[in-house]
């Protein structure tokens, strides 16, 4: 049964009896507090979907790339439309507010009539007065404001790029109180015992009100050690998991959830439900107890993901794969005596064609062992096609995660940091088999995945970064023969010449590791060909690990020092920079590579600033 959004507004609001002001936080999915059903975002169809208790669907169309939905005390629904730069009130009296590029998080303080909105690419939080429609404050938070919530009388702002939580006064006028998240001593001690120290990166993924408490779900990335045999592995298994903290001073560690990404977190009767894209189960746990995994899988495989919410009477589970999209309504797992019979409701198919649907499912699939043995997916590091802003170590090297979306990636061949792969399909196949530890995909599925990366990722919207005159001057410098940036980054070719260059960024320890690998290979070939015997090999090529007197005399192949020219599109969002993430800012890149990547040593500080302003505008 399908209701129109106009008809459902009357049905929904008729059930609303609570009128006390609330503090509400936006979610990808939420159980209706008035026990009317559940709300879900549906990004592929640019819709928000309300699923009533009887399975009737109400689709609110026209919300480009919805990212969050929340309800006020009357039960009216608000949605962040990331692709349109808008917030919309869907029920009651519909209204639309333009808030800025890519709204990604919401928090409603109803007592003051203020909706706080986090803008992903502007690195801002704005305060919207719902009555007047005016934005009365802009707060620069310096990173993507992934999560918003209310805590200790203020607004808590978390970012997936930071291991801290900043709590601002509701006026957004004073400096924040900063709370830091640290890993428990027991975990770090276990790592030390294994003798394999890793680089840990934490980032705030979700903030979830739980009664008077606030729960922070923090992504924990073991970004590795160069001595690891491969990327994305570690002594504790999967390199991505979620650490749970009770927010306080200091935050208190509650436990670890073995999911790569917390797409949605819901609270029901003292239980925490953690949903993740690409998984066929939901991690459910009592807030003060051990993990209890609450599974539901359909009769198909390859999930895009699951979203699950529970209102204490019913559990609503959104399950999506390349072939099926359904919501299952069942008795709450907190109500074992319930006589409610479970049933499923078919959802409308996504607007993508069959191949793009398959490609999107493969991009998100974290349980497909053909892709990864570590419960990882492409989306684990490239969420929505963006960069995770991390540098991963392994195989005697460090590699920064590049951005995929908004870079005209179809026209940036060859692929890989060294430009070794002529096609995107070849590079994805290499990544799956060599870095993710998968066995590989059939050609048809590999093509579908590559096509989704080329055509299916959401677009990128960003604010202007400087005045037109500054950007124009920076562009003139960029294109000038004296500076020479455009020689390798032509604007008419996706800002890449498709060639490889030695720009002086290979570090000494990387060169030594490459020499060692080369010595090992030469030793192996010589032994196979019989040109040396076991007694002579160490003198020429080093010992069993390739270390020996001849190691430093080995000349590296020229191509080993060369890196592929990356596109500069969306460079403002891809820090840290260079192949190993060793430059935190664009200014640092210019300083380190002067004379190798163009010539900027003669530029004044003002000219350099204008050049960076142009780069940030791309």
- Report the alpha-carbon distance of residue 107 to residue 24 in Å, rounded: 6
Instruction: Average the pLDDT over each of 153-162, 228-237, 470-479 and give the range with the smallest value.
Output: 228-237
Longest dimension (CA), the chain: 88
Asked whether 303 and 278 are in contact (CB, 8 A), the reply is yes
- Identify the three-state secondary structure at position 252: strand
Asked whether 168 and 178 are in contact (CB, 8 A), the reply is no
pLDDT of residue 21: 76
pLDDT digits (tens, 9 = 90+) for 61-76: 999 999 999 999 999 9
pLDDT digits (tens, 9 = 90+) for 432-442: 998 888 999 99
Question: 1-140 and 402-502+562-617: same fold?
Answer: no
pLDDT digits (tens, 9 = 90+) for 7-47: 455 445 545 555 677 899 999 999 999 999 999 999 999 99
Phi/psi of residue 535, each to 5°? -75, -35
* Mean pLDDT calculated for residue range 147-174: 95
pLDDT of residue 549: 45
pLDDT of residue 6: 43
- Give the Cβ contact number of residue 32 at 10 Å: 23
Q: Which distant-in-sequence residues (6+ apart) come within 8 Å of 618 by Cβ?
A: 495, 568, 569, 570, 571, 572
pLDDT digits (tens, 9 = 90+) for 478-505: 999 999 999 999 999 899 999 988 887 8
Q: Is the pLDDT of residue 301 over 80?
A: no
What does the buried/exposed string (b/e) look like for 608-617 if buried means 16 or more CB atoms within 10 Å of the residue's CB?
bebbbbbbbb
DSSP string, 388-450: ---EEEETTEEEEPPP-TTS-GGGS-SBSTT--BSSHHHHHHHIIIIISB-----HHHHHHHH
**How large a percentage of the chain has pLDDT more than 90?**
53
Residue 367 banded pLDDT, cuts 50, 70, 90: confident
pLDDT of residue 159: 96
pLDDT digits (tens, 9 = 90+) for 352-366: 999 999 999 999 998
Q: Which distant-in-sequence residues (6+ apart) come within 8 Å of 111 by Cβ?
A: 21
CATH number of 1-140: 2.130.10.10
- Report the alpha-carbon distance of residue 67 to residue 532 in Å, rounded: 63
Name residue, tokens 């060909």: 529
More confident position, 196 or 381? 381
For the chain, domain boundaries: 1-140, 402-502+562-617, 508-559
Asked whether 328 and 343 are in contact (CB, 8 A), the reply is yes
- Give the Cβ contact number of residue 484 at 10 Å: 16
For residue 104, give the H/E element and its range: strand 103-109
**Going by CATH, does the domain composed of 402-502+562-617 fall within 1.10.760?**
yes
* Mean pLDDT calculated for residue range 563-580: 90
More confident position, 505 or 266? 266
Residue 546 banded pLDDT, cuts 50, 70, 90: very low
For residue 357, give the H/E element and its range: helix 354-364
pLDDT of residue 434: 86
């Amino acid at each position: 049964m399908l209701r129109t959004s106009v008809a459902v507004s009357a049905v929904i609001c008729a059930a609303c009896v609570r009128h006390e002001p609330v503090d509400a936080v936006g979610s990808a999915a939420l159980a209706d507090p008035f026990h009317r059903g559940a709300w879900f975002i549906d990004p592929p169809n640019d819709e928000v979907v309300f699923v009533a208790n009887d399975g009737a669907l109400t689709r609110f169309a026209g919300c480009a790339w919805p990212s969050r939905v929340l309800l006020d005390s009357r039960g009216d629904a608000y949605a962040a439309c990331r692709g349109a730069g808008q917030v919309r009130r869907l029920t009651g009296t519909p209204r639309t507010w333009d808030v800025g590029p890519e709204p990604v998080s919401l928090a409603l303080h109803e007592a003051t009539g203020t909706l706080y909105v986090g803008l992903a690419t502007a690195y801002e939080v704005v305060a919207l007065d719902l009555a007047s429609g005016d934005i009365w404050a802009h707060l620069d938070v310096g990173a993507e404001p992934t999560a918003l919530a209310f805590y200790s009388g203020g607004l808590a702002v978390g970012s997936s790029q930071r291991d801290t939580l900043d709590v601002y006064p509701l006026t957004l006028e004073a400096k924040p109180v900063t709370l830091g998240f640290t890993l428990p001593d027991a975990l770090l001690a276990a790592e030390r015992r294994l003798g394999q120290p890793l680089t840990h990166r934490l980032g705030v993924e979700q903030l979830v009100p739980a009664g008077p408490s606030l729960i922070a779900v923090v992504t924990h990335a073991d970004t590795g050690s160069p001595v690891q045999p491969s990327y994305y592995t570690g002594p504790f298994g999967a390199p991505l998991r979620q650490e749970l903290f009770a927010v306080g001073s200091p935050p208190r560690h509650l436990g670890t959830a073995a999911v790569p990404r917390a797409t949605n977190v819901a609270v029901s009767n003292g239980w925490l439900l953690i949903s993740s894209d690409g998984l066929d189960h939901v991690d459910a746990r009592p807030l003060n107890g051990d993990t209890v995994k609450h599974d539901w899988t359909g009769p198909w495989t390859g999930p895009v993901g699951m979203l699950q919410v529970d209102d204490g009477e019913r559990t609503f589970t959104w399950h999506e794969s390349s072939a099926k999209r359904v919501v299952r309504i069942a008795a709450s797992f907190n109500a074992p005596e319930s006589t409610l019979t479970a049933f499923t409701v078919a959802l409308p198919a996504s607007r993508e064609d069959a191949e793009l649907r398959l490609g999107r499912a493969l991009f998100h699939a974290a349980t497909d062992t053909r892709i990864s043995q570590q419960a990882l997916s492409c989306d684990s590091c490239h969420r929505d096609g963006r960069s995770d802003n991390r540098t991963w170590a392994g195989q005697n090297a460090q590699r920064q995660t590049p951005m995929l979306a908004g870079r005209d990636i179809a026209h940036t061949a060859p692929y890989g940091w060294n430009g070794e792969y002529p096609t995107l399909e070849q590079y994805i196949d290499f990544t799956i088999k060599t870095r993710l530890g998968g066995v590989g995909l059939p050609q048809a599925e590999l093509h579908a995945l590559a096509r989704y990366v080329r055509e299916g990722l959401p677009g990128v919207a960003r604010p202007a970064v400087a005045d037109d005159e500054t950007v124009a001057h920076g562009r003139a410098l960029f294109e000038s023969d004296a500076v020479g940036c455009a020689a390798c980054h032509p604007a008419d070719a996706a800002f890449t010449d498709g060639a490889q260059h030695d720009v002086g960024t290979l570090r000494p320890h990387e060169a030594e590791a490459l020499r060692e690998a080369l010595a090992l290979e030469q030793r192996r070939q010589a032994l196979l060909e019989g040109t040396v015997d076991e007694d002579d090999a160490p003198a020429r090529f080093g010992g069993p690990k390739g270390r020996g007197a001849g190691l430093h005399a080995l000349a590296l192949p020229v191509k080993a020092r060369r890196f592929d020219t990356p596109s500069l599109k969306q460079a403002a969002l891809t820090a840290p920079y260079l192949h190993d993430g060793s430059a935190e800012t664009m200014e640092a890149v210019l300083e380190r590579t002067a004379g190798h990547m163009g010539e900027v040593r003669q530029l004044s500080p003002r000219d350099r600033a204008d050049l960076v302003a142009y780069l940030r505008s791309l």
